[in-house]
Every structure is written in structure tokens, then in C-alpha cells.
Amino acid sequence: DADVTQTPRNRITKTGKRIMLECSQTKGHDRMYWYRQDPGLGLRLIYYSFDVKDINKGEISDGYSVSRQAQAKFSLSLESAIPNQTALYFCATSDPLAGGDTDTQYFGPGTRLTVL
């Protein structure tokens, strides 16, 4: 959805570099998520935040950190990138109180990161 934007859309970097991926949303949702997608492995949760003061580790948080600067912004950092962090990264938002209690996740367009 255009309401969830990610920057950059593509990034090539070298091993050892610090990288920040940014996510912004205009949906007014409290919940935000970072996933990585690798072929055959589906969507794996890195970090999630249920509100500005809440940060939680997901399944694969090692090597990553996050910052929730505001309700609308959730950034993902790779402190020292390594080649096996090459993947497609998605940000998502949700609001469990919005319509029917479905807590639907709305995904951004993704950032394709390559670590050489």
C-alpha cells in the first residue's frame, strides 16, 4: 500500500558497512514490524513494535537493531552488514482495533538489500 513506504528500495553495500532501512506510514497504526524474506524461507520476523515505547525481538534479531522514532517511523539497522543478510526486507503495520478485529498487516513495497 502507498500508505507504507520504505527507503531505499534497493541497496548494494559491502561487508562491514552500517546500513539503515527506513519505514514510514501514514495509516496511523501503532504496530509496526520488520520482516526479511529469503527464497523458500517465507517471511521471518526480525523486530516488532506495538507502540512507540515498545520494541520486541522477533525470530531472527541477531545482527539487527531497530528504532521507533515516532508512531509513523520504524527504522532497521544492520550495524555491520554481512553477505548472509542479503535479502528482501519488508516493513509492515497493523492496527488490531481497526475494523473487525482482524489486525491485518499492511506491507510496504520492500527493500532489496545486497551485501557483497
Partner 1 sequence: GQQVMQIPQYQHVQEGEDFTTYCNSSTTLSNIQWYKQRPGGHPVFLIQLVKSGEVKKQKRLTFQFGEAKKNSSLHITATQTTDVGTYFCAGREGSTLGRLYFGRGTQLTVWP
Chain residues binding partner 1 by CB under 8 A are 35, 40-45, 48, 56, 58, 90, 96, 100-110
Nearest approach, Cβ of 14 to partner 1 (angstroms)?
26
Nearest approach, Cβ of 106 to partner 1 (angstroms)?
8
Minimum CB distance to partner 1 smaller for 85 or for 93: 93
Q: CA 90 to CA 76: how far, in whole Å?
A: 10
Complete edge-to-edge strand list for the sheet that includes strand 4-7: 4-7, 19-25, 73-78, 64-70
Minimum CB distance to partner 1 smaller for 5 or for 13: 5
Nearest approach, Cβ of 15 to partner 1 (angstroms)?
27
Minimum CB distance to partner 1 smaller for 44 or for 73: 44
Minimum CB distance to partner 1 smaller for 17 or for 58: 58
Contact 29, 91 (CB under 8 A): no
